Amino acid sequence: MTVRFTTNGLLAAAALVLGVGAPVAGSPYRGDAHRAPPAAEPVAWVPAADGRVSALLVAEWLRERKPGLRISDLRGVDAYERFHLPKAEPVAPQDLLPEAFSRDETVVVYGPDSAEARLAASTLREAGIGQAYYLADGVAEWLTEILNPTLSPDAAPEERAAWERTAELSRYFGGLPRIEAGVAEPRSAAEVLRRTVRRGCAF
């Protein structure tokens, strides 16, 4: 009896072998090391006592899909439609009520200026939303720190170590981390937005 091997049959057999091997191979992810905080947390990676959070920390929360994370954009619908942080919801300041959140949610607020965002976060915290924070410089901070971060080539070793994490986060959100000599001139918000990739696909 002669067994005939067709191309389709061989491909199917290869897929089956690889598929059968998958359950015993374990997780395809490289552990959770990339999500674990570093041993010594720099200030930017933890919320400040007054509830201020950095864009880097918000980006990290978004990337690790922090459960219960809510982001509220207080700048108005027009500004929101032009650009907003991932996952952000447009909310009018007068509509940012504690009843809209549960106590175990993490709320990040940003607005047209630092004072308004700080006041909103503080109001939420006083109403019992313990994890209410504010992104002081809002969208500008996101554009600068996440989508357009820069590092000087003569940065100190500890700055370079921190840079790796920043650059990784930046690329995740479609940013363009740059190492540039001299004082890096940040790109304009419009240019950063123009170069930001809206990802997606269609077949």
- Can you tell me the distance from the alpha carbon of 73 to that of 50, in angstroms, rounded to the nearest whole number? 19
Shortest CB 150 distance to another protein, Å: 14
Per the DSSP assignment, residues forming a β-bridge with 177 are none
Q: Which one, 99 or 199, has the nearer CB to another protein? A: 199
Q: Which one, 57 or 62, has the nearer CB to another protein? A: 62
- Can you tell me the distance from the alpha carbon of 41 to that of 6, in angstroms, rounded to the nearest whole number? 58
- CB under 8 Å to 71, separation ≥6 — which residues? 58, 85, 86, 87, 88, 89, 107, 108, 109, 110
Shortest CB 18 distance to another protein, Å: 5
Per the DSSP assignment, residues forming a β-bridge with 72 are 89, 109
Q: Which one, 26 or 182, has the nearer CB to another protein? A: 26
Q: Which one, 156 or 202, has the nearer CB to another protein? A: 202
Chain residues in the site for another protein (CB under 8 A) = 12, 15-16, 18-20, 22-30, 34-35, 65, 77, 81, 86-87, 89, 167-168, 171-172, 176-177, 195, 199-200, 202-203
Shortest CB 16 distance to another protein, Å: 6
Shortest CB 126 distance to another protein, Å: 28
Q: Which one, 128 or 171, has the nearer CB to another protein? A: 171
Shortest CB 87 distance to another protein, Å: 7
Give buried/exposed letters for 184-201 (b at 16+ CB in 10 A, else e).
Answer: eebbebeebeeebeeeee
Asked if 108 and 72 touch (Cβ cutoff 8 Å), the reply is yes
